[in-house]
Amino acid sequence: MDATTNLGLSPFMRGACASAISLAIAATAIAAGVAADRLGRRRVLMGSFVVAGAANIVVFLAPAGAAYLGGHIVAGVAYGAMATGSYAYVKALAPGKSLGWALGLFGVFTTLICTVTIFAGGSLADADWRWLFLVVPAMCLVSAVLVPPMLPAMPRVGSGPADLKGLIVLGAGMMLLISGLTQATSQPTHPLTWLFVLAGVALLAGWVAIELRGGHPSFPVRIFRSRPYLAAVLVGLTGNITAAAMVLGMNDHLQYIARDSVLVATIGLQPSYIIGGLGGLAAGGLLAGRWLSTGVSPRVVMTVGPLLAAVGYAALIPLHHGSSYWAILPGTVVAGLGLAAMMTAQAQVIVRVAPADAYGAVTSSKTSIGQLGSALGMILTILFLDRMTAGGVVRGLRTEGVSAADAHATLTALDNYLTTGHKPGLHDLPDAIGHAMSSFSGAFHGSMLLCAGIMVATAGAVWVLMRDREPAPR
């Protein structure tokens, strides 16, 4: 029995629980970085392990939806602190020329650990969903024990009163913005969706004003004047946007074009993820990391990476109904290599430009940027694929003489067929499925072409932004 049935979760509660962790990470990552600066990085990291473990135990024991949701929110806050705290430690453990290599390996091992955890958790979830939430407490217990002997204490930084007002406004702005973007995937025309988005943008603008006027800003917003930092922000946004588009697009392609079940589609993607992880090892840990450690400019790596990713996305454009799983691999591998390379260089740039008195806040922004990019990628991809596919079905039926009303009714029945497997109302219009497959294929091809174009544009922008403005080692 799954959590939805066991706890009687409403549709609203299901959506809230699904997005709770990512929203909590996005809203509190920078605050966690500030806390690590002021309270001590090792102390905050150990605290995050304890809180994450306790939150997952709450979810495991949850008698109702409120406790289930609350546990996810608290766990998300802890995960954000965990990610930002461990990432910020890399510079202390691998200073100087070894930084690029260390950041590459950090990214690789993070990906591999997450992949193993997902597989292990999925196996437990098949038996009982509650047992899934005992995986994290076990891992957190081991991590909390290993932190003191393995990680050195780092000096606290920052002085003066904490800018709580700015951090609250920032967190609320990020939460509203990403909530609105997430809601837009299912209700793109609902007024509340765009009210959330506009309110989030307004709060983020207010946060910038607060930080500029405050005497003790928690985040140095003037760092956006740094062209290397702007390049790193751009790479983080576009890399996550296009990565989300690739994963969502391929998953839909396998389910709706190859007509595989969700399980088979997921299994079909696993070789791509596994080999992509190994590609990340080569690119992030061995290639990009080695380049950066031997003096190759971050500008070069952050330009070559997007170009490689563009080649990978372009290689996915020819996929069609009869394409085998092996046809997916070349494009995903090359795209994975490029994404890993550009993200490794992005991490080094952010670490190097972060000022000493706001190191945690600035390095934590990498996590927030990634969350925002992933949310944008999901909404843009879903809207693009849905609109292109729906428009193609209606146009195809209209050319066959079907009335506008019947065409839209068939579109609704087709959507029900794709999500449930039932065919109500489609037996009289056998070409509807064919129109949908053809339209979706065109939409998928268009999305991959757009991703390739975004990556080429990113490479050009990075090359210009970082011209003669390399971040000096700190």
Tell whether 275 and 372 lie within a shared domain: yes
pLDDT in tens, 136-157: 888 888 888 888 888 888 888 8
Tell whether 145 and 266 lie within a shared domain: no
- What confidence score (pLDDT) does residue 15 get? 67
Last residue of a domain, one of 143, 161, 179: 161
Is the predicted pLDDT of residue 452 greater than 90, yes or no? yes
- pLDDT band at residue 403 using 50, 70 and 90 as cut-offs: low
- Do residues 156 and 134 lie in contact, with contact meaning Cβ atoms separated by under 8 Å? no
152 part of a folded domain: yes
Helix ranges (DSSP H) in 151-226: 164-183, 191-213
- What confidence score (pLDDT) does residue 189 get? 76
190 part of a folded domain: no
**Contact residues for 409 (Cβ-Cβ < 8 A; gap 6+):** 425
214 part of a folded domain: no
Rounded Cα distance between 418 and 423, Å, is 9
SS3 string of 430-470? CHHHHHHHHHHHHHHHHHHHHHHHHHHHHHHHHHHHCCCCC
CATH number at residue 244: 1.20.1250.20
Tell whether 248 and 120 lie within a shared domain: no
Tell whether 467 and 371 lie within a shared domain: yes
Q: Which domain range does residue 150 map to?
A: 1-161
Rounded Cα distance between 300 and 297, Å, is 5
Rounded Cα distance between 365 and 220, Å, is 11
Last residue of a domain, one of 145, 161, 177: 161
Domain tally for the chain?
Answer: 2
- pLDDT band at residue 118 using 50, 70 and 90 as cut-offs: low
What percent of the chain has pLDDT above 90? 20
Q: Which of 474, 360, 284 is nearest to 84 (CA)?
A: 360
201 part of a folded domain: no
Tell whether 99 and 244 lie within a shared domain: no
- pLDDT band at residue 314 using 50, 70 and 90 as cut-offs: very high
Helix (H) or strand (E) holding 1: none
376 part of a folded domain: yes
Predicted TM-score of the model (pTM): 0.81
Tell whether 379 and 254 lie within a shared domain: yes
- Do residues 368 and 240 lie in contact, with contact meaning Cβ atoms separated by under 8 Å? no
What 3-state class would DSSP assign to 70? helix
pLDDT in tens, 154-205: 888 866 677 888 899 999 999 898 888 877 767 777 888 889 899 999 999 9
